[in-house]
Amino acid sequence: MTFLRTDLNNGVLLLTMDRPKANAFNLELIGELQNAFKQAARDTQAYIIVLTGAGRVFGAGQDIEELRSVGDASIREHLQRTYNPLVLQIRQIEKPVIAAVNGTCAGASLGIALACDMRFAADSAKFVVGFNGIGLVPDSGVSLLLPALIGLGRTMEFTFSNQPISAQQALDWGLVNRILPIEALQTETMNFAAELSKGPLGAFGLSKRLFNHAVLPNLEEVLDYEGHMQDIAGKRAEHKEGVAAFLEKRAPKYT
């Protein structure tokens, strides 16, 4: 079974995550995304990449049930196989990557959206850091990418409170480039990508490499350190209570 739809049209590669019911990441979906970006890097007919979700949710982050199956194993090792290489693929591919955020974008899905070069969002989209909500810490590059876009104070407020950032707030703070009506999001994003595909693609790639060097030179180091912190958080009682509360649809009781 595949959870990723791909469509290449006039130089624009559309990647649509489609895993009911909230496009939550499991190993299969992450692997399909890694393979898609690997192929896109080699595909001379794919100039621009657009990443979106099926339905009205961009992505709910990591599938909690699958995360529970990690048990006492290292979450850091899980990140090293999954989100860390995917974030680096998105940042290192020398082609523009646009996230069309069609709805709620939470946890690891937020990290993947932040790793993209641009974000166009539906006016109904919401961005949720999410990790502290189940007793974990930000990973998937969120600890670096979110403060780089909206500032440290706002990042800490919305990490600790776990409240959603609205589409309008995201636009005002520089988290997204544009907000659009949900019915126009994909069409407008694809039209923008098609126009972009007519530009100097080699210069785009070199510019992206330059921005990575100037703004995100320590991305790999941060991803690795996130893994260390996640290993610590994942072994604490707070995480067990956070997951139990999430699955039981109740407020967590932290001691």
Ordered by start, the domain boundaries in the chain are: 4-183
- Given a cut of 70, is residue 71 above it in pLDDT? no
Residues 6+ apart with CB under 8 A from 133: 162, 242, 246
Over residues 142-157, the mean pLDDT reads 98
Tens of pLDDT, residue by residue over 2-31, are 999 999 999 999 999 999 989 999 999 999
Q: Supply the pTM of this predicted model.
A: 0.96
Query: CA-to-CA distance for 156 and 165, rounded, in angstroms?
Result: 12
Contact 22, 59 (CB under 8 A): yes
Q: How confident is the model at residue 92 (pLDDT cuts 50, 70, 90)?
A: very high
Question: Which residue stretches of the chain are H helix?
Answer: 27-42, 64-70, 75-81, 83-92, 108-115, 142-150, 152-161, 167-173, 182-196, 201-215, 219-234, 237-248
Fold observed for domain 4-183: 2-enoyl-CoA Hydratase; Chain A, domain 1 (3.90.226)
Tokens 């912190």 map to which residue?
229
